[in-house]
Every structure is written in C-alpha cells, then in structure tokens.
Amino acid sequence: MTRLRAEGLTLAYDERTVAEGLGVVIPDGSFTVIVGPNACGKSTLLKALARMLKPKSGAVYLDGEVISTYRSKEVARRLGLLPQTSVAPGGITVGELVARGRYPHQRLLKQWSEQDESVVTEAMRLTNVLELSDRLLDELSGGQRQRVWLAMVLAQETAILLLDEPTTFLDIAHQVEVLDLCADLHEENGHTLVAVLHDLNQACRYATHLIAMKPGEGIVAQGDPSEIVTAELVEDVFGLPCRVVPDPETGTPLIVPLKRQRVPVAETLTAR
C-alpha cells in the first residue's frame, strides 16, 4: 500500500486547464522527482498533492482517504511542504523559525512541550543549522536559509515531504548541498520525498522514482530513472536532441545535448 497517490486529476487555474487525467503513485520510502519543461504542470501537480490546489476532477488520496476530507492540521502532521517561496518574518531567528514547524502538534495550552524542543533540536542538527540558532535569518546565505526552511518542515515530523523546486535561486554548490541533504534524509531517516526539479541530470542522480511530464499530455513516463530515461524520452519531452550516457560518478543517466549543427550564415540571414 502506498500512502500518497492521485487518480484522474484534472488541474486548472480558474478556467485554464494545466493538465488532465493524471494518475500518480508515490512509492513509500522513495525519492520521487517530477521533471518536465516549463508549463508542463509539474509544480501544479505538487501543489495538488500538497492540497494547495483543489483538483477540478479526480482526487488525491492520503492514507486511503481523499486528502480534502482531513482537517488541515491533521494533514500537516502526515505531510510536510516546502513551497517555492516563503517569506521570513522580519527579525526572526533561525531557532524561532524552525520552532514554527511544530505548529500542527501544538495546542492552546501545550505550546512548547519537551518533545517540541527535542524534535526542533534534532531537525536543526540534521540540517546542520543548530550552530546558527540565534542568528537572524536575514543574515544567512541562500543555501543556509534553504536548510533552515527544510529544518522547519522536518520539525513537522512527517514521513512524507513535498519540495517545490528546492534548489532554485541557489548556486551549483548549494544546489548539491541541499540535494545531498535530501538524499541523506531519504536514505538514513526513511522519509518519502517528492521534489520538483529543473535540472534533469540532478533529477536522474538523486531520484529513485522519476515522473516525467509534458505540456498538454500530462505524465508520459514514470519509474526508475535508469530504466526510463532514454534519448528518445528526452527528445520527446523536452524537444532536445541528446545522448544519454552513464554519469561517471554515479552511473545514473547523464543527458548530454548534441553538438550544435553549424548552419551556413547565408541560409539564415538574408543579405541586404
């Protein structure tokens, strides 16, 4: 049995339909990555899985029940979300921000139990931000900040984590740092991760389960990246002629775009 799945999803903003007929099964304990070109609806699908967007038809199921039938706080105890953009309140320290992740476990008279404190400390230790706890979030680098946000979601203590483009706005070193951290969480702590990523090579390297989407057609392939990622798939989905070779570091598929075909200038530019 799988904890998170979706059937027959049609996703739309107002009248504009983004994707139709999506069926997704997120394998428990997987690091699932959703890829696809711009406007294919990958972030929209993640939003629907996180109950941020109400599907026009179809449903998302969490632990066998339609996700919208749960109370919002109950979902927040089972499934955590790192949105693409979050606003850090002015003057907030790292520790205070991470502590906010405990909200779904707190009640009016139980606002900071010993368990809250130990879970927050552990989340900060895992993401390596414990030493920053008294620093203001505004003072941190982009990579550090993203680890703090991740710590906040971890403090929710959910088995399932949804991450919407967690590496955007980061330079390459910090992208790898964040993804390595995700891989650690997946392998060592047994979290089920679902992430939207832009970089296909990073997706192939880190994902145990890949979902490829194409504008207008929805999901065109899902499965183990080393089984489904081929030059034909990449050309079909992204329109990019390429070769797929084994990554020299990990053996996972590595997409190498074909060399530019030189077009004689005379054919493209008409002489005046």
Partner 1 sequence: MSAPVKAVRGRVVRTGQVSFRFAERTVLVSLVLLVAVVGIGLVTLTSGDFELTVAEVTKSLIGRGDGASDFIVLTLRLPRLVTGILVGAALAVSGGILQSLSGNPLASPDIIGFTQGAATGAILVIVLVDGSMVQIGAGALVGGVATAVVVYLLAFKRGVQGFRLILIGIGISFIMLSLNKYLVTRASLTDAIAAQAWQVGGLNGRGWDHVRVVGLAVAVLLPPALYLGRRLALMEMGDATAKGLGVDSERTRLALIAISVGLAAVATAAAGPVSFLALAAPQLARRLTRSSGVGLVPAALMGALLLTAGDLAVQRLFSPAQLPVGIATGAIGGLYLIWLLGYEWRRGIAR
- Return residues touching partner 1 (CB under 8 A): 13-14, 50-52, 71-77, 80-93, 95-101, 103-104, 108-114, 116-117, 120-121, 124, 130-131, 133-134, 153, 156
DSSP letters spanning the chain: --SEEEEEEEEEETTEEEEEEEEEEE-TT-EEEEE-STTSSHHHHHHHHTTSS--SEEEEEETTEEGGGS-HHHHHTTEEEE-S--PPPTT-BHHHHHHHTTGGG-BTTBSS-HHHHHHHHHHHHHTT-GGGTTSBGGGS-HHHHHHHHHHHHHTT--SEEEEESTTTT--HHHHHHHHHHHHHHHHHH--EEEEE-S-HHHHHHH-SEEEEEETTTEEEEEE-HHHH--HHHHHHHH---EEEEE-TTT-SEEEEEPPPPP--HHHHS---
Minimum distance from residue 178 beta carbon to partner 1 (Å): 17
Minimum distance from residue 30 beta carbon to partner 1 (Å): 20
**Quick one: 71 or 259, whose CB is closer to partner 1?**
71
**Quick one: 32 or 222, whose CB is closer to partner 1?**
32
Minimum distance from residue 120 beta carbon to partner 1 (Å): 5
**Quick one: 89 or 264, whose CB is closer to partner 1?**
89
177 φ/ψ angles, rounded to the nearest 5 degrees: -60, -45
**Quick one: 157 or 225, whose CB is closer to partner 1?**
157
Q: CB burial class (10 A; 0-12, 13-18, 19+) of residue 266?
A: exposed
Minimum distance from residue 240 beta carbon to partner 1 (Å): 31
Minimum distance from residue 104 beta carbon to partner 1 (Å): 4
**Quick one: 50 or 242, whose CB is closer to partner 1?**
50
Minimum distance from residue 5 beta carbon to partner 1 (Å): 19
**Quick one: 75 or 181, whose CB is closer to partner 1?**
75
